[in-house]
Amino acid sequence: MNGSQRTLLITLTGRDRPGVTSRLFGTLAGFPVKVADLEQVVIRGRLILGVLLSYDTATDIGQVLTAVERIAADLEMEVELSTGTGKKIAPNRRGRLHVTILGAPLLPAAIAGIAGRIAANGANIDRIERLSHYPVTTIEMDVSGADPDQLRAALAIEAAEQQVDVAVQRAGLHRRAKRLIVMDVDSTLIQGEVIELLAEHAGCLAEVAKVTEAAMKGELDFEGALRERVALLAGLDASAIDRVREQIVLSAGARTLVRTLKRLDYKFAIVSGGFTQVTDSLVEDLGIDYSAANTLEIVDGRLTGRVVGEVIDRAGKASALARFAAEAGIPISQTVAIGDGANDLDMLQAAGLGIAYNAKPVVRQAADTAVNVPYLDTILFLLGISREDVEAADAEDPQV
């Protein structure tokens, strides 16, 4: 912008009502000014509208000021007017990021701490928006001028101190593009572990649970742990699988998450160290696009204590993510992986965004971000989808 250009910042504040924006810009249309920036928010029925105009020094800005003050008086709103030189219009900053904060509750100290860390990293908060008020409060900040890895590390420390969840993601068009969501099943999509439910019917729950816990912490090789646990199920009547299917309880918010993402044309996949005899029913029930899991060997109506085919372990989950992405025609950078155990680590690290969901410490440390509340649909907020958007879509669908 050359030296003959100046700026006018208009800030209108007051009760929100229809027609405020159109009234202001209808009046501004009668003057030789250009819109350089614009932002509007409504909080509890109160409107804050900011407009940055540029104009040539030959323009009689006094007439513009008088016209805007008259509109503000007519609308019973407060107005602030500030003029400046064109040199003060900053170019769009590169490296824009979304910082998403989830808390239940979300306290002022958490916002203060996170904002302080952002400032300490030399970054600026350009915009703040609320995405949800239940089951958690979610605030999203648009941040510019920060290195994403450095900011993510700093905010992870603050999140732990404030007992909130914080995610840092790059902004841009890719966030609105079609994505592939790949999710673990046991203790993620569903509550509990299928193999432990089977073990309960087989009378060996304590032995199986002990091995499961060690495997999820990364203390045991997953494939060896799987075969050891399945061997304990040898002789169990296959009808127990039907009873286990009836016992399955989806995680809170699971249906909302899948339903909403499918409406947005996202592809949804599950990968499980569990068993196809259970995951196949989840695929049918939820309309899931892709799935991979282990298969229990059944002979003469009883479990043999073995699995058949390739084992879906830590490496197998990452391979499945890559395979599903290729089939869907979606780049790996546009994938989101969600899991809780050590056998999810490879796919969490391979995905464009890895989310540790109520995970073991080793997984939380390795993932891009962590969600530590028992509501699976909070994942939507990390993707920039608000609670109001979800409820509006549900209201339009009579089958929900």
Peptide bond into 135 cis (omega under 30): yes
As a whole number of Å, the end-to-end CA separation of the chain is 52
For the cut 60, the answer to whether the pLDDT of residue 131 exceeds it is yes
CATH H-level superfamily of 180-192+235-367: HAD superfamily/HAD-like (3.40.50.1000)
HSE-CB of 78 using CA atoms within 13 angstroms = 6
pLDDT value at residue 91: 47
- Six-digit token pair at 356? 């540790």
**Element of type H or E holding 10:** strand 5-15
Model pLDDT for residues 82-130, shown as the tens digit of each residue: 888 755 444 444 568 999 999 998 999 999 999 999 999 999 888 888 8
pLDDT value at residue 399: 63
CATH class of 5-88: alpha beta
**Boundaries of every domain in the chain:** 5-88, 97-171, 180-192+235-367
Distances (CA, A) of 4 to 1, 81, 266, 342, 369: 8, 20, 49, 62, 47
Catalytic site includes residue 186: yes
pLDDT value at residue 95: 65
Q: Which of 16, 74, 126, 184 is catalytic?
A: 184
Confidence of residue 400 (pLDDT cuts 50, 70, 90): low
Identify which of 64, 58, 7 has the alpha carbon closest to the alpha carbon of residue 35.
7
Model pLDDT for residues 323-339, shown as the tens digit of each residue: 999 999 999 989 999 99
CATH 2.60.120.580 fits 97-171, yes or no: no
User: How high is the mean pLDDT of the chain?
Assistant: 89
Fold identical between 5-88 and 97-171?
yes
Confidence of residue 347 (pLDDT cuts 50, 70, 90): very high
pLDDT value at residue 398: 60
Average pLDDT over residues 135-164: 92
| Residues whose CB is less than 8 angstroms from the CB of residue 239 and which lie 6 or more positions away in sequence, other chains included | 301
Catalytic site includes residue 147: no
Model pLDDT for residues 47-65, shown as the tens digit of each residue: 888 999 999 888 889 999 9
CA distance 142 to 126: 5
Higher pLDDT residue, 192 or 215? Answer: 192
Model pLDDT for residues 250-301, shown as the tens digit of each residue: 999 999 999 999 998 899 999 999 999 999 999 999 999 999 999 999 999 9
At residue 337, φ and ψ (nearest 5 deg) are -110, 140
pLDDT value at residue 381: 93
Distances (CA, A) of 269 to 310, 311, 312, 339: 18, 17, 14, 12
pTM, two decimal places: 0.79
At residue 356, φ and ψ (nearest 5 deg) are -85, 120
Average pLDDT over residues 364-391: 91
Q: Which of 186, 340, 344, 377 is catalytic?
A: 186
SS3 call for 101: strand
User: What share of the chain in percent tops pLDDT 90?
Assistant: 64
For the cut 50, the answer to whether the pLDDT of residue 243 exceeds it is yes
pLDDT value at residue 89: 46
Amino acid identity, residue 48? I
Q: Would you say how long the chain is, in residues?
A: 400
